Amino acid sequence: MRKLLKKICWFFLVSLIFFVKNLSSTLLFHNKTALINLHYSNSDFIIEPSSFNLDASFKNGFNIPAGQTIILNTKIPISGLLDLSGTLSLENDLYCDTKLTYSGIGSIAGNGCALHLGGNLIIPASNVLHIGSDTAIEGHGNTIILGDSAELFVDDNVTLTLRNVLVCNTKNFVGNPAIKLASHRSKLALDNASLDIIGDFYFDCGQLFVHNDVSFTGTYAFVYCSPKPSFITSHSTLNFDLETIFDFRPSTTGTPELLAKDLLFMQDATSQLYLNGCTLKTTLTGMRLTKGQLTFDNKVTMTSNAELYLTEFYNSGNPVATVAGYGNSITNLSWSPDGRFIAIGGNNTPGSINVYSFSGNSLTLTTTSESYGNHIRTLAWSPDGRFIAIGGWSSPGTVKVYFFLGNNLPQVATSASYGGNIRALSWSPDGRYIAVGGDTAQVIKVYQFTGNSLTLVATSAVYGGTIRTLSWSSDGRYIVTGGETTQTVNVYNFSGNSLTSVAQSGAYGGTIYSLGWSPDGKYIAVTGGVTTNALYIYNFTGNRLVLVQTANYGNELWDVSWSPDGKYIAIGGSSPYTVNVYRFSDGSLTLIDTSASYGDIISKLSWNPDGRYIAVCGNPTNTLNVYALRHTSSSSQILSNSIVFGNSALGSSYDLNVRGLSGAKIEIDGLLNYDNVS
């Protein structure tokens, strides 16, 4: 009788998986081993085995395909292969046993719950684990091991907490750090955690929160580039261990209320920065430490003028790498986030993407996509480096997304018709949305990307002319656009399902061809042509655009690009066909250097993720060029922008307690300002 009952339950379970197509279903398991495969349904599944008395794990793991969601509420440990391309949404803490392995590029939405590790968690090479809502990973002393170019990716406005865990990797690059925060609203909380990262770890977005004891180990640098403040909380210690480097270089000058040097906060006198046989480096913006305790152990080197200034192009302004033969013209390019590849598109037959690997002095064709159908006008790499989105003249004006596999570019998603030719597109910082603009429709459309589909979620009011360019702000809250006819810069707030106009500039005085946000989201650079052939810089206050600086080029300006640290701007266009690089500081522009002539119209240029190279393509020339930039150190520094201990202007409660342990040796290169009251 018991065997017959089990057979009936199995028949019911299999029938339910195959026949439930479009309903939200609850699957109740009382077998001891469950294999869940959602290839046959578009539904979200809610799994609640906790309603049964189960004493075994999900031994075989499960697969969640792209676009699918499992809502899981169970105390039963999972093991086997977690093959995640869709979304795993938690309604309770999830426990993983020692035999769990992960594969995929999907998302875990913790919804405030925790993922408990019963053993080490290995994220294989080139795989990504997206954290889609507030999630804690409770390590219980285990290790998260990331393979080559693997990533923990924290979505916009999401907090990832890593507690009682060691995080290590095998290899990552500047643009794809082992842990990447999508936007300035993303947060990483480390609680009794250690990071042993191979390769310099660039923390360029969001905020860091240190709880209890947190250590950086190894022989590489933690490079703090974020323009947002981070915190060492009460009774907590941030430790940089032997041979590590703490490189503090925020990509902002800050505001009068919060200067760049003040972006590392100690909460109170029990907060501690512990420097043990390591190096502390700051740029000429300096670093101020207050309230807490700074402890020196072993030999510590402090350098307060580590900033390298861009001085000129290498090779007399000629390219260090070039490749030709794409077609009639190259109209767009995009660096991969790790800086290893460049994707190009334009007017060729049959209308395809070419991806080249870049070695520092050469470009090698890696892969070519299938035909888009016509002229590719715009393309962009997703923030996690897994996808390339394109748009252009192809009827009926669709966005197509391709999955980059290194030597192959399969198409994974196509949008509905935009309603005209697509001129511009931009990924949201968390890679969940693509904003699109063009002619005929003359609106911004925002599509949600699930990994295998594009769904329209928001449409703006009509711009009043062809939209030629648009860009997403680094915090994911705003989209800025410009174009023809009205010739204004318009900023929209994106709420997830709507676009609301929040600011508009005066007329530029010609067609706006290109624009871009500064990394800290404070400024927008604009270029165009016909009547006005100048670079305009606007300050965005949240509801106003204030013109703060201009620079003439000589003829139509087709493109503009900010350096990753926000300190330089590159522009290019028609005659004289050069790349001009400016330093932008305190609202002023200073021309640094000009490249040799590209030889024709520069239609697109872009800095690579570490700011050492600029890639350029043009029209009608079909050549992709890469230019190298020379940086040198500067000896000029003022005392207020040095490494500062304390803040006497705010009273003794802001004093920094500085102590050196027995045998400690401190070497200082640059200026040190002791500004305690006592």
SS3 category, 196: strand
pLDDT bucket at 12, cuts 50 / 70 / 90 = very low
Tokens 């290109």 -> residue: 514
> Residue 636 has what pLDDT?
63
Q: Which of the pair, 300 or 30, is modelled with greater confidence?
A: 300
Query: Coil, strand or helix: which one is 630?
Result: strand
What is the per-residue pLDDT for 637? Answer: 64
Percent of the chain with pLDDT over 70: 90
Is the pLDDT reported for residue 524 higher than 60?
yes
**Cβ atoms within 10 Å, residue 545:** 23
Q: Is it the case that residue 255 has pLDDT exceeding 50?
A: yes
- CA dist 294 and 674 (Å) reads 13
Tell me the two tokens of residue 71.
């809502």
Q: What is the mean pLDDT of residues 408-419?
A: 94
Q: What does the pLDDT average to over 413-425?
A: 94
pLDDT at site 60:
67
Looking at residue 64, what is its pLDDT? 85
Average pLDDT of every residue of the chain: 88
In the predicted structure, residue 281 carries a pLDDT above the cut 70: yes
Mean pLDDT of 291-318: 92
More confident residue, 595 or 15: 595
Binned at pLDDT 50, 70 and 90, residue 283 comes out as: confident
pLDDT score of 16: 37
What's the pTM?
A: 0.85
Average pLDDT value for residue range 63-74: 83
Q: What whole-number distance in Å separates Cα of residue 154 and Cα of residue 131?
A: 5
Task: Indicate the pLDDT class of residue 251, thresholds 50, 70 and 90.
Answer: confident
- Across the range 286-291, mean pLDDT stands at 95
Using the predicted structure, report yes or no on whether residue 22 has a pLDDT greater than 70: no
Each residue's pLDDT tens digit, 322-377 = 998 887 789 999 999 999 999 999 987 668 899 999 999 999 999 999 888 788 99
**Nearest CA-CA partner of 451 in 368, 546, 544, 387:** 387
CA distance 206 to 476: 11
| CA 133 vs CA 90, 158, 159: distances in Å | 10, 5, 7
pLDDT score at 395: 66
Share of the chain above pLDDT 90, in %: 71
> How far is residue 508's CA from residue 524's CA, in Å, rounded to a whole number?
13
> How far, in Å, CA of 137 to CA of 152, rounded?
11
Which SS3 state, helix, strand or coil, does residue 614 take?
A: strand
The terminus-to-terminus CA distance of the chain in angstroms comes to: 84
pLDDT in the model for residue 306: 64
pLDDT of 521 above 90: yes
Beta strands in 174-320 (DSSP E): 179-181, 187-196, 201-203, 207-217, 221-224, 230-232, 237-240, 245-248, 264-266, 272-276, 279-282, 287-289, 293-297, 299-303, 308-313
Lowest mean pLDDT among 45-49, 388-392, 511-515: 45-49
Q: Are strands 329-335 and 341-347 parallel, antiparallel or unpaired?
A: antiparallel
Picking from 615, 9, 104, 1, the residue whose alpha carbon sits closest to that of residue 344 is 615
CA dihedral 310, 311, 315, 316 (to 10 degrees): 140
